[in-house]
């Protein structure tokens, strides 16, 4: 696969950035993961808009979105065509000191691609004991400081899950490490509001728009009463949850989940850049 860095394409084994890059040193950067199906990026405009919002929230200069869009398309063109790939767009604060203070070098912008397996039909999840801080400075931003997610995924794996679910400091449902969560409670499809501290997922927004779901505060404890539940995310679209903490949900996939997955697949096929 090709890699694009600051306007230049490289073979992946020749792509290099500085070991003093602040993204590496302290996770001072933002990123996006974009689905690429048969060479076609999905919802690239929405992803670039979120990249800009994350950069503003982290306080780094605005990335050049036109240049990054061109870089993304050039990377896809220069890479072997595969049925499904994930495209990673990363923008860091650039070269800086070895501490948390920032340097004044230009941003580092990177586009990389990797082939991706099709998502499984369902997923087992585990709720982790550490809350997301919905009041934190980085709440709702897609920054490269994802160590908390790595730790949570490790916990989930030890507890029979392949995705970890976070509550927040108020004891309400928040999101997964790379996913948003929807549940059917009392026959209604609900998902936590952005004020819960979750990322404004592109897939989440499209499911709300195309399928309809209420954004409302959901006490974490209510998850165990869910009739059905599903995750949304770029690498999964709509994915039914089978078990939560080892307990099987009553309906997998339930009728509302199945409908959401169908509507999403249909609309996404019609509109590659919704
Ligand atoms: C923390 C977090 N929540 C939710 C999501 C789902 O967002 P999207 O649907 O845009 O992939 C992601 C992945 O991007 C994520 O990293």
Q: What is the mean pLDDT of the chain?
A: 97
Over residues 4-19, the mean pLDDT reads 98
pLDDT for res 233: 98
CA distance 51 to 42: 15
203 lines ligand 1 (CB under 6 A): yes
| Residue showing tokens 């794996």 | 157
Question: Comparing C-alpha atoms, which of 152, 157, 232, 163 is closest to residue 192?
Answer: 232
Q: How far is the CA of 256 from the centre of ligand 1 (A)?
A: 21
**DSSP 3-state percent helix, strand, coil across the chain (nearest 5):** 30, 30, 40
178 lines ligand 1 (CB under 6 A): yes
Q: What is the pLDDT of residues 201-243, one digit of tens each?
A: 999 999 999 999 999 999 999 999 999 999 999 999 999 999 9
Query: 152: exposed, middle or buried (C-beta count within 10 Å: 0-12, 13-18, 19+)?
Result: buried
CA distance 46 to 214: 21
pLDDT for res 99: 98
Q: How many CB atoms lie within 10 A of CB 212?
A: 10
pLDDT for res 71: 98
Over residues 161-178, the mean pLDDT reads 98
What one-character-per-residue DSSP string does 165-197 give?
A: EEEBTTSBEEEESS-EEEEEETTEEEE--GGGT
Closest protein CA for atom 13 of ligand 1: 178
The ligand 1 atom at the shortest distance from the C-alpha of residue 198 is 3
256-260: long-range pairs with CB below 8 Å, 24+: 256/184, 256/189, 256/228, 257/184, 257/228, 257/229, 257/230, 259/211, 260/182, 260/189, 260/207, 260/211, 260/230
204 lines ligand 1 (CB under 6 A): yes
pLDDT for res 184: 98
Q: How far is the CA of 58 from the centre of ligand 1 (A)?
A: 17
92 lines ligand 1 (CB under 6 A): no
268 lines ligand 1 (CB under 6 A): no
pLDDT for res 73: 98
Q: What is the pLDDT of residues 122-145, one digit of tens each?
A: 999 999 999 999 999 999 999 999
Over residues 79-107, the mean pLDDT reads 98
CA distance 143 to 53: 11
pLDDT for res 175: 98
Q: What is the pLDDT of residues 246-262, one digit of tens each?
A: 999 998 999 999 999 99
pTM for the model stands at 0.97
30 lines ligand 1 (CB under 6 A): no
């Amino acid at each position: 696969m090709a890699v694009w860095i600051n306007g230049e394409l490289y073979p992946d084994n020749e792509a290099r950035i500085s070991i003093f890059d602040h993204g590496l040193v302290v996770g001072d950067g933002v990123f996006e993961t974009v689905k690429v199906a048969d060479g076609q990026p999905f919802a690239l405009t929405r992803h670039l808009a979120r990249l800009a919002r994350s950069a503003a929230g982290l306080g780094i200069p605005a990335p050049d979105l036109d240049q990054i869009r061109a870089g993304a398309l050039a990377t896809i063109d220069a890479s072997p065509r595969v049925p499904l790939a994930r495209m990673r767009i990363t923008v860091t604060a650039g070269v800086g000191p070895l501490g948390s203070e920032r340097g004044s070098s230009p941003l580092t912008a990177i586009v990389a691609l990797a082939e991706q397996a099709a998502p499984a039909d369902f997923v087992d999840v585990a709720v982790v004991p550490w809350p997301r801080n919905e009041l934190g400075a980085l709440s709702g931003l897609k920054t490269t400081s994802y160590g908390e997610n790595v730790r949570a995924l490790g916990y989930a794996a030890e507890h029979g899950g392949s995705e970890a679910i976070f509550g927040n400091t108020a004891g309400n449902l928040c999101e997964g490490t790379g996913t948003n969560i929807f549940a059917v409670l009392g026959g209604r499809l609900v998902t936590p509001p952005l004020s819960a501290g979750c990322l404004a997922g592109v897939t989440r927004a499209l499911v709300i728009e195309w399928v309809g779901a209420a954004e409302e505060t959901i006490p974490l404890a209510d998850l165990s009463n869910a009739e059905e539940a599903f995750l949304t995310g770029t690498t999964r679209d709509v994915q039914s949850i089978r078990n939560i903490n080892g307990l099987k949900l009553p309906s997998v996939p339930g009728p509302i989940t199945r409908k959401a997955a169908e509507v999403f697949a249909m609309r996404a096929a019609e509109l590659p850049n919704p």
